[in-house]
Chain A
């Protein structure tokens, strides 16, 4: 993975000093609340219900064992001994003290980490596929360009205070796993007919209050122009985005209002002036950064391993874990492993310091000292030998990290919600836990099969509920918490936004509602259909009918 040189290190060190002084001035009353807010937000610091929340950047989801160990230490020393992985692949601390945050950042800087631009109205952490570099269907490994873009976007002076947040995702696979269509800019890397690296650029996607999937603004962009083309897009947005209304301030609203053709015209006109300027990426820079992402020093292995085969045959628990949590790899004899941060009845994405240290050890012992976080809020060991899988499983299992539920209903994507977040309308974690307990039977979960369930505690959609096969959104009705349910959302190349099935439910009703949705699916599915396929085939109506059947009776009763 990318390792800092002196220039990178100096920037994070100077950031710590700058931020330390900003906190000092705020506490001394020299900075007002309004003046401090954007400064702290651009350093990942929210003021929350109980304590501040600090969001630490994990650029495109890559972590070293050393970094994870440090995160474990920090969570122990400055927090309550745990952290939370977010849907932007970042790590959040829920209980740090404001006064301690400069010291936390100073400690992070010692392991080449920071919290720069993890919030606020600026270009945020760039995200990608958690199987980047090792997925068999990968065409281009986009990490080098993602790192170059990270550097370009870090303290970009022109884009320091945008109308609203700005999210970029990159992907280089046949099957999109980075939800690039749900981003302000999505960069899809591919090989063009000259076998040169090119980018298909998507713009104007985003979830939140007004969920919209992105549109292609440019089919073919040579990689050298990735920065200048983004500059053109963000400049048009910076100048013309709706600053008068925070709910309409995202680029998606501007793109919709102008129409993609007019928007494209403005961007292309802007780009004519920027194209080939000094921010054009050179071959040398790409080569310099790409060397940090060279394939690992793999052993030459056979695609089969006798011990592994024997373990599969004799141990059904191991076999079902392998089925769900182990993924294909480019390199023969290697696999990627997802360590589930979704044990039933625990907050999705949470991880204790002890678990962080253990995962760091596993990475050192079995996966070249590196790991990744996924936007589904799990951790990945990307390069494990087939013959080591059983040992990894045993150790992960002993530490609550081997729930065999990846991609299943209980692998719930969930924001911190009303328990922690001051933006939330409703709690989300207790809903996730209650649903996990409703379906606390692995055989049943495996029978239900692939299903993505996403929960957001408010419109801001941190839990990506619009693209969940089942999406749950916390809403506020007259001061109490209710939950609106959508079905039919999907991430990937054929992404879609889910449809609301009807009036919202109370928290207590939610496990039963999900159960009813599943019942309809089980009843109606054909052999090879996943939940989402059934929804797409039969539509929302049968689900709606079954879920609201009792409610309608109750209503008729009340009317009579």
Chain B
């Protein structure tokens, strides 16, 4: 059973994933500590991918693929043909900079999909990244959240411009889908509905 929820015209369905996610080869990760506690979140802009990893990433020959941002940038030439066929999307983690993506793609809407990896659900940077991609960079295609994606964050993700959600594997996407409808008339304007309640409704004088 697929764990991917796709939102189309405000209707959410569980759909098969047409995309293959290309991962970086694993490396030794050193455990860092700050103030006696294990560091759970990488700093925004922090370099986290080794050249070696980029070099050793296996890019599949066929099919639609979502490649890591660093691979997309460093090995762009290898992707030219697939890019032309609309078979390449890009994923980045919440600590990576969308400016790096923007600087390396002529027209962001040539990408059929951008996916954001959220390692821990409490990392709210994902909401700003979605918002910026939609409002600042006018990205119109599929925007996907994957990683630690859970029911109770779906409503916020939807409002921040995401339209597909890869629910964490150990959770039911069928149950999570309800989270998209937690609130029917939110107060503030956001990506999915730019008008705040005060201009959307006649709230009287």
Across the interface, which residues of B come within 8 angstroms of A441, CB to CB? none
Contact A279 B189 (CB under 8 A): yes
Residues of chain B at interface, number, CB under 8 A: 49
Question: Is B34 in contact with chain A by the CB < 8 A criterion?
Answer: yes
Assuming A158-B160, A273-B136, is B128 touching A288 (CB within 8 A)?
Answer: no
Q: Kindly list chain B residues whose C-beta atoms are within 8 Å of the C-beta of A161.
A: 121-124, 127, 153, 156
User: B152 to chain A: which residues have CB within 8 Å?
Assistant: 22, 35, 39
A11-B198 contact, Cβ under 8 Å, with A158-B131, A244-B41, A284-B205? no
Say whether B188 contacts A5, CB under 8 Å: no
Contact B204 A5 (CB under 8 A): yes
> Which residues of A, 149-178, contact B by the 8 Å Cβ criterion?
151-163
Among B4-12, B102-110, B177-185, the stretch that binds chain A is: B177-185
Which among A198-206, A215-223, A234-242, A260-268 touches the partner chain? A234-242
Which residue of the partner chain B has the closest CB to A17? B182
Please determine whether A158 and B128 come into contact, CB atoms closer than 8 angstroms.
yes
Given A7-B201, A121-B122, A278-B194, check contact A157 B41 (CB 8 Å). Answer: no
Residue of A7, A14, A22, A248 touching B197 (CB-CB under 8 A)? A7
Q: Is B203 an interface residue (CB 8 A)?
A: yes
A22 and B155 CA atoms in complex are apart in Å by: 14
A246 and B35 in contact, given A35-B150, A238-B127 (Cβ under 8 angstroms): yes
Q: How far is the CB of B36 from chain A (nearest CB, A)?
A: 10
Give, as a whole number of angstroms, the nearest-CB distance from A119 to chain B: 14
Which residues in chain B, 138-165, are within 8 Å of chain A measured between CB atoms? 150, 152-153, 155-160
Cβ of B189: which chain A residues have Cβ within 8 Å of it?
277-279
> Is B187 a contact of A152 with CB atoms below 8 Å?
yes
Bound state CA distance, A282 and B188, in angstroms? 13
A-contact bits for B110-139, CB 8 A (1 contact / 0 none): 000000000001111101100100011000
Q: Are A239 and B41 in contact (CB under 8 A)?
A: no
Q: Which residue of B lies closest to A281 (CB)?
A: B198
Q: Does B44 contact A (CB under 8 A)?
A: yes
Q: Is B92 an interface residue (CB 8 A)?
A: no
Tell me whether A365 is interfacial, beta carbon within 8 Å.
Answer: no
Determine if A151 and B188 form an interchain contact, defined as CB atoms under 8 angstroms apart: yes
Which chain B residues lie closer than 8 Å to A18 at the CB level? 182-183
**Of A158, A159, A287, which is within 8 A of B205 by CB?**
A287
CA A71 to CA B158, docked complex, whole Å: 35
Proximity string of chain A (239-278) to chain B, C-beta cutoff 8 Å, 1 when within and 0 when not: 1101111111000000000000000000000000100011
Residue among A159, A235, A239, A277 having the largest count of chain B Cβ atoms under 10 Å: A239
Query: Across the interface, do B187 and A151 meet the contact criterion of CB distance under 8 Å?
Result: yes
Query: Smallest CB-CB separation from B150: which chain A residue?
Result: A35
- Contact indicator B196/A243 (Cβ below 8 Å): no
Is A285 interfacial (CB 8 A cutoff)? yes
Indicate whether A38 reaches chain B with its CB closer than 8 angstroms: yes
- Given known A-B contacts A152-B196, A157-B155, A278-B189, A242 and B43 have beta carbons under 8 A apart: yes
Whether a CB of chain B sits under 8 angstroms from the CB of A391 is no
Q: From A158, A163, A242, A245, give the contact of B127 (CB < 8 A).
A: A158
Check if A239 sits within 8 Å of B34, measured CB to CB: no
Q: Give the contacts of A33-71 with B (CB-CB under 8 A).
A: 35, 38-39
Q: Does A291 contact B (CB under 8 A)?
A: yes
Residue B22 interfacial (CB < 8 Å): no
When A161-B124, A162-B124, A240-B44 are in contact, do A155 and B183 touch as well, CB less than 8 Å? yes
Q: Is the CB of B190 within 8 A of A158?
A: yes
A288 with B127: in contact, given A11-B185, A39-B152 (CB under 8 Å)?
A: no
Instruction: Find the A residue at minimum CB distance from B95.
Output: A243
Cβ contact within 8 Å between B196 and A157? no
B188 is contacted by which of A235, A279, A287 (Cβ under 8 Å)? A279
Asked if A247 contacts B187 (CB within 8 A), the reply is no
A10:B185 contact, CB within 8 angstroms: yes
* Alpha-carbon distance between A285 and B197 when the two chains are bound, in angstroms: 10
Assembled-state Cα–Cα distance A273/B203 (Å): 28
From A15, A151, A244, contact of B39 by CB (8 A): A244
Instruction: Please give the distance in Å from B120's CB to the nearest CB on chain A.
Output: 9
The minimal Cβ–Cβ distance linking A468 to chain B, given in whole angstroms, is 26
A162: chain B residues within 8 A (beta carbon):
124
Contact of B203 among A5, A152, A248 (CB under 8 A): A5
The answer to whether A282 and B127 touch across the interface, beta carbons within 8 angstroms, is no
B187 touches A238 (CB 8 A): no
B42 within 8 A of A: yes
* Complexed CA–CA distance, A257 and B150 (Å): 33
| B55 on the A face (CB < 8 A) | no
- Interface assignment of B195: CB less than 8 Å from any CB of chain A: yes
B185–A7 contact, CB under 8 A? Answer: yes
B199 interface residue, CB < 8 Å from A?
yes
Distance in Å: Cβ of B103 to nearest Cβ of chain A: 17
| Chain A, Cβ-Cβ closest to B199 | A278
State the Cβ distance, A46 to closest chain B Cβ, in Å.
17
Q: How far is the CB of A458 from chain B (nearest CB, A)?
A: 15
Distance between A249 CB and nearest chain B CB, rounded to angstroms: 9
**Chain A minimum-CB-distance residue to B187:** A151
Is B85 part of the binding interface, using a Cβ–Cβ cutoff of 8 Å?
no
A157 x B160 contact (CB < 8 A): yes
Query: Distance in Å from the Cβ of B28 to the closest Cβ of chain A?
Result: 19
- The distance in angstroms between the C-alpha atoms of A39 and B155, with both chains bound, is 13
B138 shortest CB reach to chain A, Å: 12
The answer to whether A14 and B182 touch across the interface, beta carbons within 8 angstroms, is yes
Alpha-carbon gap, A161 to B160, bound state (A): 13
18 A-B residue pairs with Cβ-Cβ distance under 8 Å, sorted by A, are: A5-B203, A5-B204, A7-B197, A10-B185, A151-B198, A154-B188, A157-B157, A157-B186, A157-B188, A158-B190, A160-B153, A161-B121, A161-B122, A239-B44, A243-B43, A243-B123, A245-B39, A279-B188
**Considering the complex of A and B, which 9 residue pairs feature the smallest CB-CB distances, nearest first?**
A161-B124, A157-B159, A243-B41, A245-B34, A285-B198, A157-B156, A151-B187, A278-B189, A160-B156
Give me 6 other A-B pairs in contact (C-beta within 8 A), A121-B122, A243-B40, A278-B199 excluded: A11-B183, A11-B185, A22-B152, A162-B124, A242-B43, A247-B35
Residues on B lying within 8 angstroms of A by beta carbon are 32, 34-35, 37, 39-44, 121-125, 127-128, 131, 135-136, 150, 152-153, 155-160, 182-191, 194-199, 201, 203-205
